[in-house]
Homo-oligomer: A and B are copies of this chain.
Amino acid sequence: MATGKVYFELQERKIEVPAGTNLLQAAALADVLIEGDCGGKGTCGKCRIKILTGGSGKITPAEKRLFSPEELAAGWVLACRQKVTGDLDLVIETSGARDDVISKTRQKRQAPGAALDPSVRKYYRSLSLPAPDDRTPDLERLVNSLPGRGIEADLGVVAGLPRLLRQAGFKITAVLAGNRIVAVEPGNTCGRAYGLALDLGTTTLAGYLVDLVRGEVAAISVSCNPQAVFGADVISRIRHAAYNEDGLHQLQEKMLDAVNGIIRRLQDQALIQNEEIYETIVVGNTTMIHLFLGVEPSNLALAPFIPAFNRSLELRSAELRLRLPPAGRILILPSVAGFVGSDTVAMLLAAKLDRCENVCLAVDIGTNGEVALADRDRILVCSSAAGPAFEGYHIEYGMRAVEGAIDSVVIGQDVQLGVIGGTAPRGICGSGLIDAVAGMLKAGIIDSAGRFVESEPDRAGLYPGLRSRLLKNGSGAGFLLAPGRLTATGKDIVITQKDIKELQLAKAAIAAGVRVLLQEMGISAGGIHEVLLAGAFGSHVKKESALAIGLLPPVSPYRIKSIGNAAGDGAILCLISRAERTRALSLGSRVEHIDLSSRADFYDKFVDALPFPDLTD
């Protein structure tokens, strides 16, 4: 197998990889983090690097769109578009790239709405000078000048206080996180204060730098979770921790490295010092939180799936190896159960499910789907193991939502496809699959049981363009989405009978979870006032298609709203509002966790939810 060498100049790392590996993958293998948040689709334009020597010289349409001719001439490319050719060594520069990329792709995002009242507070004080008749010690002098009682200070703060006070002429700014002095700075720095919201996902780690003075998101940085080298899913990572002596430590170190990378990039983007990040709110699924903290996770993978803790934990940054001020506060939001983590709690907070006037359903669809149903009094939550069909796995031609994936399908007289990156299709991702199956249902290609129509009268009713796509081959019935002559692989892309079954299993799991919660609440689907879709999948899936296949309960599409990355928003809310934080902390115990695996009625509801809704109803 041909291989090629890539040398990352700034990091002084060299790696040899198989030809065909793209430079984003090569960087990941070399432990060089290159920013990017479209998952290698060539759309976000973030993974810019400069090829100093080597390279194929082939420029892709994405690069033509994103770079000026001068930049292209200088060697700028997208790491995800360029492959190692095997006959040339590459030398890559990522350093200049980073600043340049950031200035072009900096994202400002409005922080989710809440009155600005952060837990981190700054107080500028011009303290009276010590004198023979005023020998108050430095710390007491400072504390006496601050509002509130029971104020404490970290040893690190006390240690440097004498010098700092005198160098600053006793004109200083004290930074309090709650009742704790986490920093003291010379002069008046009240105009600058930052917090960090971290959302630790199995696949993706997201960091939001929040300006606590202006109440806005100052920068966002996203990276792959580098623990992926130990397995894509939580179970394989838990196994790695369980079966390798240093496994847990390795997993934690990977995560901390990546979070430190995120912090560095946020700093660079927002032009701040990491010492100005006084507080961090952390959310994530229960396993990721365990691994982040170095807490033994193995019982999360063994029945009866007991977490080490659900409660919120408060740490000082120094307890983890993070590039944050040592006395800075780290608050882990509470979890609910082994499969309902603090990310769900944050989602509930952002979705305001603790303040519902009407019945509200919130759904975060993934391999584990979290479903929450709330009214004025109760908040019910369950986690439903939908399996990976929504992520494109276990589907004959399935793939993740990356370049070449069919992500939207419209079935009219014929079939119209949308492909990520605008290239020839290589497969189909979750949202494409839902679209396709919804369209097939509507067009009468499959019946509500998910079976391909077989009778001649049924088939005769189809448009000719669709009828010609119906296949019957050795592996059963199928529907041709794209013939081989139009695909990137040269092979047909087909929706098979098995694919439809997989989708039915996945959507039935979610739908049955919804039905259990509705029954627990004592209402029917008609009583749902609003459906909130959280997360990336929730933003991409077409509401009508989701309704058509019965993934969501029968409500008007106007009642369905995407709320984006609600977990991150919830963490941000906890940074900017003490009231919201108090809500989040109480949510952990307020939420009623409905454990589906112990419900006798879940299986019945699951079976009931397998058929598609009868569109003739």
Contact = CB atoms under 8 A, between A and B. Distances in A.
Contact of A309 (B140, B303, B311, B318): B140
A133 interface: yes
Nearest to A293: B155
A603 interface: no
A298 interface: yes
Contact of A306 (B138, B294, B297, B318): B138
A136 to B, nearest CB: 8
Interface in A295-338: 295-299, 303-311, 313, 315, 318-319, 337-338
A192 interface: no
Given A140-B311, A162-B299, A309-B138, A304 B132 contact: yes
B132 A308 contact: no
Nearest to A338: B135
23 contacts: A130-B304, A132-B303, A133-B598, A135-B305, A135-B306, A135-B337, A137-B308, A137-B309, A137-B310, A138-B308, A139-B310, A139-B311, A140-B310, A155-B295, A158-B293, A159-B294, A161-B295, A161-B309, A162-B296, A162-B298, A162-B299, A163-B296, A163-B298
A306 B130 contact: yes
A375 interface: no
Nearest to A138: B308
Contact of A155 (B159, B310, B315): B315
A330 to B, nearest CB: 10
A265 to B, nearest CB: 26
Residue from A130, A139, A155, A166 whose CB has the most chain B CB atoms within 10 Å = A155
Contacts of A136: 306
B598 A132 contact: yes
A447 interface: no
A27 B132 CA distance: 44
Contact of A139 (B299, B308, B337, B598): B308
Given A135-B338, A595-B135, A162 B306 contact: yes
Interface in A93-138: 130-138
Contacts of A483: none
Given A130-B306, A137-B309, 14 more contacts: A130-B304, A132-B597, A135-B306, A135-B338, A136-B306, A158-B295, A158-B309, A158-B313, A159-B294, A159-B295, A161-B295, A161-B296, A161-B309, A162-B298
A140 B307 CA distance: 10
B158 A307 contact: no
Contacts of A20: none
Interface string A270-310: 00000000000000000000000111111100011111111
List 7 tightest A-B contacts by C-beta distance, closest first. A139-B309, A162-B296, A137-B307, A130-B306, A159-B295, A137-B310, A132-B304
A587 to B, nearest CB: 16
Interface string A519-546: 0000000000000000000000000000
Contacts of A130: 299, 304, 306
A299 B139 CA distance: 13
Contacts of A169: none
Given A161-B296, A296-B160, A595-B135, A155 B319 contact: yes
Contacts of A310: 137, 139-140
Nearest to A252: B159
Nearest to A166: B299
Interface in A580-611: 595, 597-598
Interface string A143-168: 00000000000010011111100100
